[in-house]
Amino acid sequence: MENVTYSSLEKKILTYAPFDIPKLRRAYEYAKNYHKDQKRASGEPYIIHPLNIAYILANMRADMDTICAAILHDVVEDTESTLDEIEKKFNKTIRDLVDGVTKMTKLDLSSKKELSALNIRRIIVSLARDPRIIIIKLVDRLHNMRTLEYKSPKKQQKKALETLEIYVPLAYYIGASKIKDELENIAFRYLKPSLYGDINKQREELKRETKDILEATKKQIDALLKKNNIKAKFEIRYKDNYSIYKKLLTHIRFEMIHDMMSIKVLVKNIRDCYLALMLIHKEFTPINNRFKDYIAKPKTNMYRSIHTTVFGPENRLIQFQIRTFDMERVAIYGLTSYWFKYKNNARLEMQKDLENNFQFFKSIKELDSTILDNIEFVSRIKKELFSSNIYVYTTSGEIIELPNGATVIDFAYKIHTDVGNSMVAAIVNDEAVSLDYVLENQDRVRIITDETAYVPKEEWLDKVVTTTARNKIMDFIKDNNEN
State yes or no: is 209 an active-site residue.
no
State yes or no: is 96 an active-site residue.
no
- Burial (CB < 10 A; 0-12, 13-18, 19+), residue 256, is exposed
Catalytic residue among 29, 44, 77, 440: 77
Residue 236 pairs with which residues in a beta bridge?
263
Catalytic residue among 10, 20, 78, 108: 78
**Considering only CA atoms, which of 63, 138, 93 is closest in space to residue 339?**
63
Residue numbers annotated as active site:
77-78
